[in-house]
Amino acid sequence: MFGSEQQAITDKINAFFSENDIPLVELKWTPVPFSGEWGVSTSFFQTAANEARSGIGRGPVPARAQEIAEQAKTWLEAHPVIGIHHLEAVKGYLNLYFSTPEYTCNVVNTVLSQGKDFGKGAPQGERVMVEFAQPNTHHSFHIGHYRNAILGESLSRLVEFAGFDTIRASYPGDIGLGVITVLWIYDKFYRGQEPADVHERGQWLLKLYVEATNLLTEKENETPQETLQRESYDAERRDMYRKWDAGDPEIRRLWEETRAWSLEELRVILAMLEIDIDVWFFESEVDEPSKTIVTELIERGIATDERPEGGAVIVKIDEKLGLKKDKYRTAVILRSDGTSLYLTKDLALAEEKFNKYHVDRSIYVVDNRQSLHFQQAFKILELWGFEQAEKCFHLAYGFVSLPEGAMSARRGRLVLFKDVADQAIQRVLDFESEKTSDLSEHQRLETASQIGLGAMAYAMLSVDNNKDIVFEMDEALSFDGHTGPYIQNAHVRAASILKKAGTRPESAAYNHRLDSHEVQLIDLISRFPDTVQQAAQEYRPLIMAAYAYDLANTFHSFYHAVPVLKTEDETVRQARLRLVMAAKQVLANALALLGITAPEVM
């Protein structure tokens, strides 16, 4: 049952409540599992309990709930609502049953008339900002960044589709010691040697970073000369950071030039993933405003300035909150040399998001190693009196590795997204070339890329975001099991049935006895709009990933068990064809919310 019909019934019952002076409670409907017919159910226990509590109770709660249910039943029979076949009042519940052909028709027609918009929620009147795809610059885009990007994009699509006004934001870390480290070594040893290709440039910067870290890290058994050398390198790097801070034009120019390389690679990858960022924030841009906040925090006694004693500016968060135990600990918000920290900049960023973009909720898609960081940031904002602090939410996710082992940027052991994607697409192409197909070269490439990327996306989204992922290429690309290609294949199967059928019936009656596979399919399709709402409200793309799998699985079973094209009876054939059309549409809608394309052929 969809929103509008539910509303019609709710309105009727509310009318009954006010007619009978029964205090109104918000009605909640739950679907009744199919047992020959579909229905929905609501309970009157809350209503009866409220009466009892307010002293106007009439007898024991269960008996009173049943009494109300019976009265509501009588009322609805006298004031019928279209589509309801019969009613039942049992044990304090009111059950409404629909006529099966009408209900099925309604589900299928709604899907087919709304098409891409089926499942879309009414405007919620709230604006949500989702911040994701925000890697550090002077670095390359690795598989962990990919998990972030796809999680953030799927979440954005979900909240947008659920009816929230949605802003996609990115916040690349374009300044900090890591960035300066790359700048230093480039300037010292590599000027003018950068490769031309965007992706190679990213990887090259990463190589520089590894080499620089190596030169700058103290080693065991260093000779006095080596120590001297390392210390002088470090002094150069620090000096460079100071110059950047002071706005030295030469250093700034060098910084901007190298930063542009990384941002270019980021934009190329986002385009490939069909991610369109609305607002770009940069760490370097909130650096100054964050220092103003520090001054205010000191003035108001929230932060402690220990600089006179050679220390830093700190916030003793637990102490300020009156907590006895260690929870948020003490955070440094300004170094002794006056430079800001990552945490400091997040204070200014939060303010900018709410005040400039008027968002109602702010979601940060960032890996779970930064959980304490965000708890601290949100608590300091709260101490500062920033009311919207409670509207900030850190959507954390776990680490991604390959069976070969964990990644380490410092050691240069990184699995780059572009490499994995190229490999996934190539594997699909190799596999496809073994099949005879009448696809053009262009179609073949396009499909391979849809399948390869779909496999990767689904492998990321079908795991609870808190869990780590070991990405297994063969498993992800498999056409069986919980994979992207398995779901895409259901869509392709539906497309091929429709192609073979030639015609697409404009309407159909569902007067035949429904097969249990048909029932399950109709059931799942009708649950799509609620699933969208649930996934969006809980910020959990996983809910949609699981739904897409269930729908594909149900469709595959239907395909094997129920004849469509071979059905003799023309009305049944039309009914099933329209059901296939509806299933295909909902599969596509669900995949779209996961950032996965639904191919017509594969």
| Helix 570-593 with 143-161: angle, nearest 10 deg | 120
User: With respect to ligand ARG, which residue has the nearer C-beta, 292 or 437?
Assistant: 292
Q: How far apart are CA 591 and CA 194, in angstroms?
A: 39
Q: Which of 134, 156, 449, 489 binds ligand ARG (CB under 6 A)?
A: 134
Site string for ligand ARG, 450-479 (x = CB under 6 A): ------------------------------
Q: Give Cα separations from 44 to 10, 26, 71, 595 (angstroms).
A: 13, 10, 11, 41
- Crossing angle for the helix pair 143-161 and 441-461, nearest 10 degrees? 90
> Which of 119, 135, 178, 599 touches ligand ARG (CB under 6 A)?
135
Pick between residue 98 and residue 171 the one whose CB is nearest to ligand ARG: 171
Binding residue count for ligand ARG, defined by CB under 6 A: 10
Nearer to ligand ARG by C-beta: 148 or 489?
148
**Three-state SS for 42?**
strand
Least CB distance to ligand ARG at residue 136 (A): 5
Contacts of 402 (CB under 8 A, 6+ apart): 143, 415, 470, 471
Q: 184 or 364, CB closer to ligand ARG?
A: 364
Of 132-140, 328-336, 385-393, 455-463: span binding ligand ARG (CB under 6 A): 132-140
Which residue number, 161 or 282, has a Cβ lying nearer to ligand ARG? Answer: 282
Question: Per-residue x/- marks for ligand ARG, 497-536, CB under 6 A?
Answer: ----------------------------------------
Specify whether the CB–CB gap between 181 and 217 falls below 8 A. Answer: no
Q: Are 139 and 574 in contact (CB under 8 A)?
A: no
First to last CA, the chain: 34
Site for ligand ARG contains 397 (CB under 6 A): no
Distance, in Å, from the CA atom of 452 to the CA atom of 455, rounded to the nearest integer, reads 5
Which CB atom, from 162 or from 347, has the smaller least distance to ligand ARG?
Answer: 347
Instruction: Out of 206, 277, 313, 366, point to the residue binding ligand ARG (CB under 6 A).
Output: 366
> Would you say 94 or 133 has its CB closer to ligand ARG?
133
425-428 long-range contacts (CB < 8 A, ≥24 apart) are 425/449, 425/451, 425/452, 425/453, 426/452, 427/452, 427/473, 427/477, 428/452, 428/455, 428/477
* Nearer Cβ to ligand ARG (171/510): 171
Sole binder of ligand ARG in the list 51, 160, 346, 518 (CB under 6 A): 346
Q: Is residue 425 within 8 Å of 432, Cβ to Cβ? A: no
Query: Shortest distance, CB of residue 135 to ligand ARG, whole angstroms?
Result: 5
Nearer to ligand ARG, 39 or 144 (CB): 144
343 versus 421: smaller Cβ distance to ligand ARG: 343
Length, in residues, of the chain: 602
The DSSP call for residue 395 is E
Q: Which is it for strands 330-334 and 39-43: parallel, antiparallel or unpaired?
A: unpaired
Integer Cα distance of 248 and 239 in angstroms: 11
CA distance 103 to 87: 15
331 near ligand ARG (CB under 6 A)? no
Residue 349 as a binder of ligand ARG (CB under 6 A): the answer is: yes
CB of 288 to ligand ARG, least distance (A): 17
Give me the 160-199 binding string for ligand ARG, x by CB under 6 A, dash otherwise.
Answer: -----------x-x--------------------------
Question: For the stretch 132-157, what's the b/e string if a residue is b when 16 or more beta carbons lie within 10 angstroms of its beta carbon?
Answer: bbbbbbbbbbbbbbbbbbbbbbbbbb
Nearest approach, Cβ of 395 to ligand ARG (angstroms)? Answer: 11
- Segment contacting ligand ARG (CB under 6 A): 134-142, 197-205, 209-217, 253-261? 134-142
Please enumerate in sequence order all residues whose Cβ is within 8 A of that of 255, keeping only pairs 6 or more positions apart, or say none: 175, 179, 183, 244
Q: Give the separation between CA 143 and CA 402, rounded to whole angstroms.
A: 9
In this complex, which beta carbon is closest to ligand ARG, that of residue 106 or of residue 170? 170
Pull the structure tokens for residue 123: 């405007």
Q: Quick one: which segment of 130-138, 432-440, 573-581, 591-599 binds ligand ARG (CB under 6 A)? A: 130-138
Closest approach of ligand ARG to the CB of residue 315, in Å: 17
The amino acid that residue 96 corresponds to is L
Q: What CA–CA distances, in Å, run from 215 to 185, 347, 407, 414, 569?
A: 9, 33, 20, 19, 78
Stretch that binds ligand ARG, among 94-102, 105-113, 128-136, 514-522 (CB under 6 A): 128-136
Q: Structure tokens of 325?
A: 């135990």
Closest separation between CB of residue 418 and ligand ARG, Å?
A: 17
Within 10 angstroms of residue 287's Cβ, the number of other Cβ atoms is 17
For the CB of residue 345, give the shortest distance to ligand ARG in the complex, in Å. 8
CB burial of residue 56 (10 Å; 0-12, 13-18, 19+): exposed
Tokens of 317: 């968060």
Which residue number is nearest to ligand ARG in terms of Cβ?
A: 173
CB of 159 to ligand ARG, least distance (A): 18
At its nearest, how many Å lie between ligand ARG and the CB of residue 373? 7
Identify the sign of the CA torsion 481, 483, 485, 491: positive
Instruction: Kindly indicate which of the ranges 13-21, 127-135, 289-297, 564-572 contains the residues binding ligand ARG, using the contact rule CB under 6 A.
Output: 127-135
Among 136, 140, 447, 597, binds ligand ARG (CB under 6 A): 136
Q: How far is the CB of 149 from ligand ARG (least distance, A)?
A: 12
Taking the least distance from each CB to ligand ARG, the nearer of 136 and 533 is 136
Interface characters, 401-440, with ligand ARG (x: CB under 6 A): ----------------------------------------
Determine the Cα–Cα distance for residues 576 and 582; give it in Å rounded to an integer.
10
- If the CB atoms of residues 175 and 590 are measured against ligand ARG, the closer one turns out to be 175
Residues that bind ligand ARG (CB under 6 A): 131, 134-136, 171, 173, 346, 349, 364, 366
